[in-house]
Structure 1
Amino acid sequence: MDEPSILLTNDDGIESAGLRALSDTLSDVGDVTVVAPAEDQSAVGRSLSHDVTVHEHELGYAIEGTPADCTVAGLGSLVPDADIVVAGCNQGANLGAYVLGRSGTVSAAVEATFFDVPAIAVSMYIPVREDAAFDELQMNPESYAEAARATEYLVERARGTGVFDDADYLNVNAPVAEWGPAEMAVTYPSEVYQMTATREDNGDIQLQDRIWERMAEGDIPDPEGSDRRAVVDGKVSVSPLTAPHTTEHHDELDALAETYDPTA
């Protein structure tokens, strides 16, 4: 198989260490073009702009917009022949079903699937006790080595094996490289929800994801087979996912629709 054309994007911004780590590693297995946000766009989900400004960059292109903007601009104009989209490596994990729609990293991968281009979202778990603490971290570039190694492996092999016949995209979460070599586990997004809302003395409400503290302590309620359990156990989690939000027809809703009276 010929070397793939790889569109590399992220949500941490084009100057992030995680994106640079993937760019350097993936250049060994394909032709990498970066189309990434000019600034940090973390947790913007699939927000989309009407038009975006494009700046040439040594790695490719910096977009004044969101991760979804980058995927659309990349596949629609800048790198229309891309064989695969890789989003990451995000500083901080993207684990659990409730996180997927928030993540700019995952959203960039989801956007690619509507172009019928396979995609991989890549994130690195960092053991911190508060989700806000990620903003203060300055990670060593070498910390991304395990995530980069797993991504290189999947980019090089997954396209030719039929993996993307059944999965639209892969959500990959790897531990920091300092934990040592990590096995790869196929997982599903955990359904455990740990968000809390605490009313403060001044009347404000603090929203916090308590799972980070539990993860840092190694005490999580997530079952075997889930993405969060795999990462806490020191494994590279790979969740094969589909993008369209669809479900099966069922009799109860059909019955409601049939008895609806538009004149009532």
Structure 2
Amino acid sequence: MDTDLEILLTNDDGIDSPGFRALYDALSAVANVTAIAPASDQSAVGRAMSSEVGVEEHELGFSIAGTPADCVVAGLEALGPSTDLVVSGCNTGANLGAYVLGRSGTVSAAVEAAFCGVPAIAVSLYIPEDEWPRETDVEEYAEACRAAQYLVERAPARGVFEHAEYLNVNAPLPGDEPASMVVTRPSTVYEMGAIQNDDSITLRDLSWEAMSEGTIDDPDGTDRRAIMEGKVSVSPLTAPHTTERHEVLDGLAAEY
């Protein structure tokens, strides 16, 4: 392999997950990959950060007793070589919608990298709601790995990260034909439900339930609409979540 591209690969499902192995193998064909991932499942931990984590050598690289964000910092600052790109995944289950950006461990690893000044790609595999949860095989990540490999080989050199700090990629399961790729924006459709049962409360993500019923309200151009149409969704994003300053708040501050 003739490449100078250095990738730090992490995830939130754990270093022994099939999606991680699939992505490691795919990216190792086009780049120098240093694997630094959680020792156990860290799904939905967001950007939780530890002050100290254990580290062990693993056949793929290093296993960290911590979160995805821990892995990124440990890799960039202590364990890995100089890194050109952080890739996080491949997650088992899609990470769709604006609301997951602060919740998903997979996406949060990419956000952590972006705040550290390193471009990143988060990669997730959409599993239909009526098939969830279930065990997955490495082969089922083929479409996600194809998209990730394509972007890794081209996005940095073509200047994509001069306009975006990280990409959130969601891919479908392999089909009869290769999936097309579309650029999307995170959907803002979000609906949760809660049902009390005596001394417990069950929380339900109603957006996922709508996906299983095929009744999503997401408009064209959104990530959830693209994945429901069997396409690879690529959302270009920035790490600081900000809004514009406005005169109403300026007035309140002045009156304080």
TM, length-normalised to structure 1? 0.93
Who is 1:4 aligned against? Answer: 5
TM, length-normalised to structure 2? 0.96
- Percent of aligned pairs sharing the same letter: 64
Who is 1:163 aligned against? Answer: 160
Amino acid across the alignment from 1:100: L
Range 107-116 or range 207-216, more displaced: 207-216
Amino acid across the alignment from 2:219: P
Who is 1:211 aligned against? Answer: 207
Who is 2:196 aligned against? Answer: 199
Name the SS for the 1:177 alignment partner.
Answer: coil
Q: How much does 1:116 deviate?
A: 1.1
1:102-251 matches, cutoff 5 A: 102-129=103-130, 133-134=132-133, 137-178=134-175, 180-200=177-197, 202-251=198-247
Name the SS for the 1:225 alignment partner.
Answer: coil
Q: Find the aligned partners of 2:89 and 2:176 in 1 and give their Cα distance.
A: 20
Who is 2:26 aligned against? Answer: 25
Q: Is the 8 A contact 1:127 1:212 kept in 2?
A: no
Q: Find the aligned partners of 1:139 and 1:235 in 2 and give their Cα distance.
A: 20
CA offsets per residue over residues 86-118 of structure 1, 9 Å max, x none? 000000000001111100000000000122111
Q: Number of paired residues? A: 255
Q: How much does 1:247 deviate?
A: 2.0
Amino acid across the alignment from 1:96: G
CA offsets per residue over residues 3-37 of structure 1, 9 Å max, x none? 31010000000000000000000011100110000
Q: Is the 8 A contact 1:188 1:239 kept in 2?
A: yes
Q: Find the aligned partners of 1:114 and 1:102 in 2 and give their Cα distance.
A: 16
Q: Is the 8 A contact 2:181 2:233 kept in 1?
A: yes
CA offsets per residue over residues 34-58 of structure 1, 9 Å max, x none? 0000000000000000011110011
**Structure 2: gaps spanning 5 or more residues:** none
**Structure 1: gaps spanning 5 or more residues:** none
Report the RMSD for the aligned CA atoms in angstroms.
Answer: 1.4
Q: How much does 1:180 deviate?
A: 3.8
Structure 1 residue ranges (4+ consecutive) displaced by more than 3 angstroms after TM superposition: none
Q: How much does 1:217 deviate?
A: 3.0
Q: Find the aligned partners of 1:115 and 1:4 in 2 and give their Cα distance.
A: 18
